[in-house]
Chain A
Amino acid sequence: MTAPLLSISGLNAVSDRDGGAPILRDVSLTVARGEVRGLVGESGAGKSTIAKALLGILPRTVRVTAGTLAFEGRDLLKLPARELRDIMGSEISLIPQDPQTALNPGRRIEAQLTDGLRMKRGLSAREAHGRALSLLEEVHIREPERVLNSYPHELSGGMRQRVLIAAAFALEPKLVVADEPTTALDVTVQKQILRLIRGMQEAHGTGVIFVTHDLGVVAQICDTVTLLYSGKVIEEGRTADVLASPRHIYTRALIAAGPRYDRPDAGLTPVPAAVFEELRREIAAGGGR
């Protein structure tokens, strides 16, 4: 295999607000071309921090202290702002979490969908319009002309998320960062959106980092998965392998804790306190996984 598309190694980050509390501890992972890498963990595990670091939108209070984010061999953390701006949007793009607020309420879909095409690819208004139409068709939106002419509030949540997916793939990026793109949607729409992202990713050969807290979603869409706890990589591997034979007790407990729709009477099994004890010990020891 050739060099991976993205290779994160030894990434450490601290929060300046909490007196330098570590947010990421020595995180390493890779994404190959055309691979969907799941990034799983509970709130505060650091999965969104990794996504934000990749996109260069870390809050001011979070500081990366060590490590590299190598995208096609270029360290994103060391690139000058100008080059970073060239990469963002055209080679790395984002599918945001909340379709309610991720679209500008004051601008038409057409303007928002064609921003990148016109600015980064230099398309004329007409060319961009045609491209936007075919993008909307690709994400299975009927009446694309009408949607292009609409404001975000005139569309449903699922439609908006489709528009955002179309926008993320508009410039044929090599890597798409999906930041919990289905969390704000209801379950039936969720499934369609997951299938859509998978379909787009396969058609375009795009690498995807898929941030989620839902192992069920991981099972549906991800080739490989990285499990984080408190900023540390707990388990990593091919999705099927990890889910079938987890090595770490935390992973095992998490899988056991998932709701069983086939046995609703069984109730939910929380992750045992002993597992968290074990996790804390490991993190304090700073040993390998």
Chain B
Amino acid sequence: MAELALTTPTPKAPSRAAKRLRALASEPKVIIGGGFILVLIVIAIFAPFVAPKDPLEQDLMAGTLPPAWVEGADPGFLLGTDDLGRDVLSRLIFGTRIALIVAFVAAGLAALIGTLLGLMAGWYGGWADRLISRLVDIWMAFPPVLLSILLVAVFGSGVHSVIAAIVIIDWTRFCRVVRAETQAQAQMDYVTAARTIGFSRLKILFSEILPNVTPVLIALVSLEMGIAVIVEAILSFVGLSVSSDTPTWGGMIAEGRQIIYEGWWVLVAPLIALFATVLAFNQLGDGLRRALDPVMRR
């Protein structure tokens, strides 16, 4: 029966970790987006060492100084100063702390809650699905920004309330996508095959279906991080995030708006930071989805 054997002319397979790393490294979006985020993380952790000045130190004599490349600038203030004479660059650097904490914690918790409910709705169907889906429908009828302002107003300001507000609003995103993906996977023959080996429903859900939902989930978490950064900026902008002695990008935009004619850079610098960060999270999410999906991976 030797003639029945099928040959596969592939050389010896490299190790799993090496293969996965190579897949990630061959995705430019992961390198660029992830690289940017990584730099931000390092900056956030070592903010006191990276920042050239104390972000809270005021110097009214040096108020509204333009960035270093504009006429009349003080080379000590690379991105200029705001109306109170605080260094914009240093404030920007300290602002990454709040932005990243909110991004990771809020997106992570929203993903956790939304995924669990989505898996339940998609897999068990019936009344569980009806209950969870109706809840999501009702939830999504609220205007998100107003709801988040309302929630923070109720919880009181601070990072914890901002995170809680984002989680409470955005778990529905994960729930909907995960539910649909779970339903699609549940139709597959491998799920039936798993049932015929006598797997319990719970085991099938977590060891067969969840791994196939994960690529979509990772992309979504990454997108959600970008959204969380924006929501935090909105809440800081309206003064509902952390207290004003902690620099935040949203807070800087709010301050910059008031002196936009005297010093445009106070507004533009945090806007660019916000824009670049959200873009990086989105690109990273897209790249990760491609690189981690075993079917799309070639």
Contacts and interface: CB of A to CB of B under 8 A. Distances in A.
A149 B237 CA distance: 52
A89 B189 contact: no
A106 B212 contact: yes
Contact of A153 (B4, B212, B295): B295
Given A105-B294, A140-B5, A156-B6, A146 B212 contact: no
A141 B6 contact: yes
B134 interface: no
B212 A105 contact: yes
Closest 6 CB pairs of A and B: A89-B197, A88-B198, A85-B198, A106-B211, A102-B189, A106-B212
Interface of B: 1-2, 4-8, 10, 12-13, 16, 188-190, 192-200, 207-208, 211-212, 214, 294-295
A contact residues, range: 35 or more
A142 B4 CA distance: 10
Contacts of B199: 115, 119
Q: Is the interface of A mostly helix, strand, loop or mixed?
A: mixed
Given A85-B198, A89-B197, A105-B212, A142 B190 contact: no
A94 B5 contact: no
Contact of A143 (B4, B8, B214): B8
Interface of A: 55-57, 84-90, 92-94, 96-98, 101-107, 112, 115-116, 119-120, 140-143, 146-147, 149-151, 153, 156, 158-159, 162, 164, 192, 195-196, 199
Given A85-B200, A88-B197, A192 B4 contact: yes
Given A101-B190, A116-B197, A153 B294 contact: yes
8 contacts: A88-B195, A94-B196, A105-B212, A105-B295, A115-B199, A119-B197, A140-B1, A142-B5
Given A89-B197, A106-B211, A106-B212, A149 B190 contact: no
A80 B188 CA distance: 26
A86 B196 CA distance: 10
Nearest to A105: B295
A195 B198 CA distance: 28
B244 to A, nearest CB: 47
Contacts of A150: 13
Contacts of B194: 104, 115
Contacts of A158: 6
A105 B5 CA distance: 24
A104 B208 contact: yes
A192 to B, nearest CB: 5
Contacts of B295: 105, 151, 153
A282 to B, nearest CB: 34
A141 B12 CA distance: 15
